[in-house]
Copies of this chain bind each other. A is one copy, B any other.
């Protein structure tokens, strides 16, 4: 059963639909339950999942580590944990959503999978599509770089470069697809079902006071929010953590509406940020994120590209190389700590959404020196008192 997050319209369990007729996102009904015996989130949280996934999930996904970040914790006067989604099969959190979209597509008897994406989601859908022998279609903007296509193309999907408004394509793809292709675009209700398992895994290890969530289409925020809400409704937690939505200032329609007290986002005219993976100018889940920020006393903050780049290096200094679109969350956390909005000593989880390998060219080189094999000792002596 799918329900519109805004107008409450209901759609039957077999409806092949992704967005409400009113334009707002759909939500799968709330699920309640108990944690089961066993290993891994798919088994333990089966009560909370719309499908049984374990046996078909042949390439894995989910069950990522929550790592302590000791240096940042000290620096910021909090306990910071990093939820490392870069350890998924295609190295981003998108895999969790793809698993559920795929299950849904198979349940509806579909044989073709599609997505509108230029990055993480395209790679994820192509990988799971290939693994499940579904013909897979990826719609990308006509001006996409060859480099970006490469990591999608390897999985063998049909890649269609579309000349036209890429924002409109999101909605048009659903129309176009009909019963031909199951399109799993960002923010789709079954993607959200996958993303909510991040909340369950965090809860298993450490229920924090704050969760920092990089936000673009809004699907990840909606997923984590639904996950904690279901834990609360099932009586397993007394209170949800405070959810913090972080956007890059260069494309921050949700932050803008939040600051102005508007209930609806406005299309961002010219996205301009280094964190290109979260630069959706008109997030399909944007209004719903605003509603949830309001309902659950969430926080919303924008960050500069300069701070995003610095944060990426600080996270690498804890051992995790993430995308700039992931490090926005730490950049936001630093602002909220400075403001005192997040209290000293708080437990905070930051979602590391995807691997930095995908956007390597952005990394500055530091501490690279040249040396001859014969004078390596002198060279090391520059760094510490070398003694043979």
Contacts and interface: CB of A to CB of B under 8 A. Distances in A.
A151 B356 contact: yes
Contacts of A373: 162-165, 168-169, 172
A376 B180 CA distance: 13
A383 B172 contact: no
Pick the 6 closest A-B CB pairs, nearest first. Answer: A164-B373, A131-B319, A60-B65, A357-B357, A59-B319, A127-B319
A368 B368 CA distance: 39
Interface residues of A, number: 89
B71 A158 contact: no
Nearest to A319: B131
Contacts of A91: 86, 91, 355, 357
A147 interface: yes
A127 B155 CA distance: 28
Interface in A324-340: none
Contacts of A377: 176
Interface in A80-110: 84, 86-91
Given A89-B319, A150-B365, 14 more contacts: A39-B39, A58-B68, A59-B65, A86-B89, A89-B320, A147-B360, A151-B357, A153-B364, A153-B368, A154-B363, A156-B367, A164-B372, A178-B387, A181-B380
Interface in A301-327: 312-313, 316-321
30 contacts: A59-B84, A65-B89, A89-B320, A127-B321, A137-B380, A142-B370, A147-B361, A150-B361, A151-B321, A153-B364, A153-B367, A154-B312, A154-B316, A155-B319, A156-B313, A156-B366, A157-B367, A158-B367, A158-B369, A159-B369, A160-B369, A160-B370, A160-B371, A161-B370, A162-B371, A162-B376, A164-B373, A165-B373, A176-B377, A180-B380
Contacts of A128: 319
A128 B156 CA distance: 34
B130 A376 contact: no
B161 A368 contact: yes
A311 B384 CA distance: 46
A75 interface: no
Number of copies: 2
Interface string A179-195: 11100000000000000
A370 B319 CA distance: 40
A138 to B, nearest CB: 9
A149 interface: yes
A358 interface: yes
Contacts of A367: 153, 156-159
A133 interface: yes
Contacts of A316: 127, 130, 154-156
A130 B59 contact: no
A329 to B, nearest CB: 17
A14 interface: no
